[in-house]
Amino acid sequence: MRSKGARTSSKRCLILRPGDSVALALEDLKAGDLTEFGSLKVRIVESVNFGHKFAVKDIKEGEDVLKHGDVIGRATKDIKVGSHVHIHNIRSLRAGAK
């Protein structure tokens, strides 16, 4: 992947845009795996399957979650760096979603 502003890691994963709070796993990741994005190092804390996302910073409950340089939803609980980010801890802000 060489899209503009994207940063890659030795474990294949990707932060799509600078400032994104999540990265994309391009291979299955397990607890303990180390991912690196330049100077940013993220230790994976639980399994993250291919195509799924993990936090590259601590995200507080109620905080917007950023991917593609834009808001993809809001955290429904505190999310620790390295954790799997999905429907169990983020929610859409649209169509009246609570």
Partner 1 sequence: MTDKLTGYWNEDKKAGIRTHVAVLSLNAFCTETVDRVADSVRGVTPLTHEFGRNEIGLNKQRLESSLLKTALNPNVHSVLVVGYEPKSVEEYVAAFRKTSKKRIESVVVSDAGTLAAIHDGSRKALGLVILASEARREPIQMSDLVFGLKCGGSDTTSGVASNPAVGVATDYIVEHGGTAIFSETTEIIGAEHILAKRAINASVAKRIYAVAKANEDLAMSYGVDLVGTNPVPDNIKGGLSTIEEKSLGAILKAGTSKIMGVLDYEEPAPGKGVYFMDSPSAAQAVLTALAAAGCQIILFSTGTGNPVGTAVAPVVKVTANPRTVKNLGDHIDVDISSVLTGDATLREAGKKVIEAVTAIVNGKSTRNEALNHLEFAPLPGGL
Match 């910073």 to its residue by tokens.
Answer: 57
Q: How far apart, in whole angstroms, are the C-alpha atoms of residue 35 and residue 58? A: 15
Binding flag, residue 77, partner 1 (CB under 8 A):
no
Binding flag, residue 61, partner 1 (CB under 8 A):
no
Binding flag, residue 57, partner 1 (CB under 8 A):
no
Q: How far apart, in whole angstroms, are the C-alpha atoms of residue 13 and residue 51? A: 9
Binding flag, residue 82, partner 1 (CB under 8 A):
no
Binding flag, residue 12, partner 1 (CB under 8 A):
yes
Binding flag, residue 90, partner 1 (CB under 8 A):
yes
The tokens describing 43, both together, are 């230790």
* CB proximity list for 79: less than 8 A, separation 6 or greater: 55, 58, 59, 85, 89, 90
Helix (H, G, I), strand (E, B) or coil at 50: coil
Q: Which is nearer to partner 1, 20 or 45 (CB)?
A: 20
Binding flag, residue 91, partner 1 (CB under 8 A):
yes
Residues engaged in binding partner 1 (CB under 8 A): 1-3, 8, 12, 14, 16, 24-26, 49-53, 67-68, 70-73, 85-87, 90-97
